[in-house]
Amino acid sequence: MRYDDDKGKKTGIIEERIIQPSTLEIIDQSMFDWVDEKLNIFCDTNKGWKKTPVLWITAERSHQIKHSQELRDQKGSIILPIITIERASMNKNPASKGIFYGNIPPSAQGGSITVSKRINPDKTSNFARADAYRKHKQINFPIENKKVVYQTMTIPMPTYVEIMYNIVLKSEYQQQMNQMAQPFFTKPGGINHFLLERDGHQYEGFIEGDFNQDNNISNLAEDERMYQTTVSIKVLGYLIGEDKNQANPKVVIRENAVEVKMPRERVIYGDIPDHIGKKGFYRD
C-alpha cells in the first residue's frame, strides 16, 4: 500500500500489511463497532449524562448474566436504557455480486484474485550475478537484467452476502428514546448508506427507513413501562475463504518463470566415452 503525504504528493513509501480473512464474525464485529464507537450514543439518566451500553444478543444468556453484572440490577433485570444488536437473517443474493461480477474458480493450489505483486530480490539478483559472471567473468558487473522474479499473491474470490441486523433501543422515558434514536437518522446524513470497517475490510450498510416502535405505555397493566424502537440495517458484506474449514492456504504465493531451458537428450546404453569418470551435464 502506497502512502501520500499531507499535501497529497506521492511519497513512495510502501507498507506491507497482513491480509486478514473476512468472516461472518468480522462482519458482526464491524456492526457492533459502528454502533458502539461510531455512533457513540449518550443519553440522560438518573446518574447524569452517560453512555448507553451496547449489548450483542446471543444464546449464552447465563454467561452474560455472570460476566456483565453491571447491566443488571439486584433482581436480575436489565438496567435501562440499553441498545441490543441481533443478526436476524442472511441471504446470498446472486444479484448482489459486488465488484467481482464474474466467477473466477480457484486453481489446484487455491487463490483466484491477485491482491499484490512484488519482486523477489534474492532470486532476481542470483540471475543477474550468474549472467554477469558468464559474460564478463565478474559477479557484480553492471548489466541489464531482464530476468526478474515476481511474487504474486492471490486470495479466494470474495462471496457477497446480505445480512440483516435488528438494533433494538430500549428506555423508560421518551426523552431517552429521542436521544438514542436521533443519531440513526442524522449520522448517515441525507442518505441511508454508510460504511463499516474492521481489520482492514469495508462493508456497506443501509438503514431501513421504517423505525418500528413497540411501546407499552398505552397498556395500563402492572408491567414495567418501556419505550422500544427497532432499527433494521442491511449490510452487504463479503466472505473470503472457508475460515477454519479451508484446506488450501488462505493466501497463495506464486513465482513466475524467467528462463526456459531445453537441454539435449541422448538415449544410449552405458556411459558416453568422453564423460567417463566425470559429472557432466549429459550424463544419463
Query: What is the pLDDT confidence band of residue 46, given thresholds at 50, 70 and 90?
Result: confident
pLDDT of residue 122: 92
Q: Which CA distances in Å does 227 have to 57, 113, 122, 177?
A: 18, 48, 66, 7
Rounded CA separation 210/185 (Å): 11
Look at 6-15, 142-151, 169-178, 245-254 and tell me which has the smallest mean pLDDT: 6-15
Q: Which helix or strand (DSSP H or E) is residue 181 part of?
A: helix 174-186
Query: What is the pLDDT confidence band of residue 284, given thresholds at 50, 70 and 90?
Result: very low
Residue 68 has pLDDT above 70, yes or no: no
Domain borders along the chain are 11-99+157-245, 113-155+255-275
**How open is the CA angle 232-204-206, to the nearest 5 degrees?**
30
pLDDT of residue 61: 58
Look at 102-116, 147-161, 172-186 and tell me which has the smallest mean pLDDT: 102-116
Q: Could you please report the per-residue DSSP string of 144-165?
A: ------EEEEEEPPPEEEEEEE
| Among 175, 202, 230, CA closest to 22 | 202
CATH 3.30.2000.40 for the 11-99+157-245 domain, yes or no:
yes
Query: What is the pLDDT confidence band of residue 123, given thresholds at 50, 70 and 90?
Result: very high
Query: What is the pLDDT confidence band of residue 4, given thresholds at 50, 70 and 90?
Result: low
Rounded CA separation 107/157 (Å): 11
pLDDT of residue 126: 92
Please give the share of the chain, as a percent, with pLDDT higher than 90: 42
Q: Which helix or strand (DSSP H or E) is residue 132 part of?
A: helix 121-136
Residue 84 has pLDDT above 70, yes or no: yes
Rounded CA separation 91/55 (Å): 24
DSSP label at residue 72: B
**How open is the CA angle 176-87-210, to the nearest 5 degrees?**
50
Look at 53-67, 88-102, 144-158, 222-236 and tell me which has the smallest mean pLDDT: 53-67
pLDDT of residue 1: 46
Look at 28-32, 102-106, 132-136, 175-179 and tell me which has the smallest mean pLDDT: 102-106
Q: Which CA distances in Å does 187 have to 42, 91, 181, 190?
A: 14, 26, 11, 9
Rounded CA separation 41/55 (Å): 13
Mean of the per-residue pLDDT values of the chain: 83
**Contact yes or no for 103/109 (Cβ under 8 A):** no
**Of 284 and 158, which is predicted with more confidence?**
158
pLDDT of residue 92: 92
